Amino acid sequence: MTTDAPSTHAADFTAIVAHWEGVRPDAPAITFDGRTRTWAEFARRIRQNAAAQRAAGLRPGDRVAVLDLNHPSCLELTLACAQVGTANAVVNFRLAPPEIVYVINDAQARVLFVGPEFAAAVAQVRDKLPTVEQVIHVGGEGDEYEAWIAAHEPDTDVHPSAPGDCFVQLYTSGTTGFPKGAMLTHSGMLAHAQNVTADFDVDGDSRVQVAMPLFHVGGTSYALLAIAAGAHSLMMRLPDPAAALEMLERERITHTFYVPALMAAMLQVPGVGERDFSSVKALSYGASPMPLPVLRGCLTLFPGVLHQVYGMTEQCGVVSSLGPEDHGNPATEHRLISAGTPIHGVEIEIRDPATGDPVPTGEPGEIWVRSGQIMGGYWGKPEATASTVTDDGWLRSGDGGHIDADGYIYVTDRIKDMIISGGENIYPAEIERVLAEHPSVGDVAVIGVPDERWGEVPKAVVVAAPDATIDEAALLVWCREQLASFKCPKSVDVLDELPRNPTGKILKKDLRKPYWEGQDRQVV
């Protein structure tokens, strides 16, 4: 185990990069597309990027933006922003063109970095980006980024950033309205890196696979915690299931993070069960519910290393974890649907969403989180910030859940998705977990629809599994066998696919809208 870690009180990521450059200059820092750069090379490029930013007239507080698939230039840019005092707004490349325009304009980005896959789209909307002074193409035959940084000698001047200064701005995926820019700060990102590395044993000997997109905390925050630990980061351009598995085995990866949809696809890769994944020490998964059938398959494929994590952009990433000791243990199998317990340095409580008062153990409410990881607020939206972060530092997650007597957190649903039927609170996720276990169901969402007697009742909206046919009556019987009667769906609709936002979250507002037209309830 490497013991030459920087002080846990390091002021910012500029100091961290300088530390690893000093103590391990020839050790590998980052690998991408077959090219590995040492800590000395990585640090030099970051400082050249900082010089190029200053030459472009960028000043502390300015924003740049990246619209690209994963590429090391995005991390170099983020770390150069930490040095200069600027901030990198990483754009979700899965957004529709009007949404991309909104994010870039909301960030007031002065320089836009664009990958080859998005060059044509940016050219079409260029006249709608009034704050963008320069577009720099990254990668491919038309690459301009390498010349942009090569034109400058490394700049060693470091802006005296305050702990609460933002250097990376990630946008919430939002299932309603436009995304909000969460301002992630030096203190928040450092706290996240320190808290996660303490619980997941990431150090300078670790080989960390960065598979998730950098516009998400599962990408950028994961990469930054590896940098903080002095680990070797191995970045993928896209999270392809076969390629990710091949890299795990070939590169002897020790730590990685996936979303459940990717893990479901991995189980279908031919010959996956014959591969050697013995190097993996911690495989984290989260960002969306994990179907139990997929989890059971992954328990066989990755025994003893699974960590279910729960987190949010506004907390720079992970806030709780269900570790390997609670995976595959028959005595604690009920905990597989929990989000585990708070990680090091994080407090979690359940509060009444109306009053903000703590609720008794086991009772449902809104999940509140307090830690040093908290964002600096939503960019340009003080009212949204004030309604989300309390004066004493608690972040209202908007997620519903409860904590059991053993301290395990159960995330049920977004508060706004809760169904109130005849005075009973019903959390759709509980019903969805039961329906997902039925062999005919490939995808599922449960929504509340109007009912004259009960106000609203649950409805299941399902997609058939491959080569399966949905029997609505059989699904209702399945639910009645496993759920209290008031929780059971009263009807089933079958669709070819469920509507989702660009990050894969189901748009329940779109599913609910037809049923609530003309009703008093506001559908959001």
Residue 395, domain member (yes or no): no
In order along its 524 residues, the chain shows pLDDT tens digits of 555 665 444 568 999 999 999 999 999 999 999 999 999 999 999 999 999 999 999 999 999 999 999 999 999 999 999 999 999 999 988 887 888 999 999 999 999 999 999 999 999 999 999 999 999 999 999 999 999 999 999 999 999 988 999 999 999 865 456 789 999 999 999 999 999 998 999 999 999 999 999 999 999 999 999 999 999 999 999 999 999 999 999 999 999 999 888 998 999 999 999 999 999 999 999 887 787 888 999 999 999 999 999 999 999 999 999 999 999 888 888 899 899 999 999 999 999 998 999 999 999 999 999 999 999 999 999 999 999 999 999 999 988 899 999 999 998 877 777 787 876 768 787 789 889 989 999 999 999 998 877 878 999 999 999 999 999 999 999 998 888 788 899 999 999 999 987 767 788 889 988 998 876 444 44
Where a domain ends, among 141, 161, 181? 161
Where a domain ends, among 161, 190, 222? 161
Please give the residue range of the domain that contains residue 85: 12-161
CATH number for the domain spanning 27: value is 3.40.50.12780
**pTM score, two decimals?**
0.84
Residue 92, domain member (yes or no): yes
Block residue for tokens 């989260």: 286
CB 208 within 8 A of CB 233: yes
Where a domain ends, among 161, 196, 213? 161
CATH number for the domain spanning 492: value is 3.30.300.30
Phi, psi values for residue 369, rounded to 5°: -130, 140
Task: Report the domain count for the chain.
Answer: 2
Residue 276, domain member (yes or no): no
Residue 37, domain member (yes or no): yes
Q: What is the full DSSP assignment across 395-429?
A: EEEEEEEEE-TTS-EEEEEEGGG-EEETTEEE-HH
Residue 458, domain member (yes or no): yes
Phi, psi values for residue 395, rounded to 5°: -100, 125
> How many CB atoms are located within 10 Å of the residue 369 CB?
25
Cα(93)–Cα(91) distance, rounded to whole angstroms?
Answer: 6
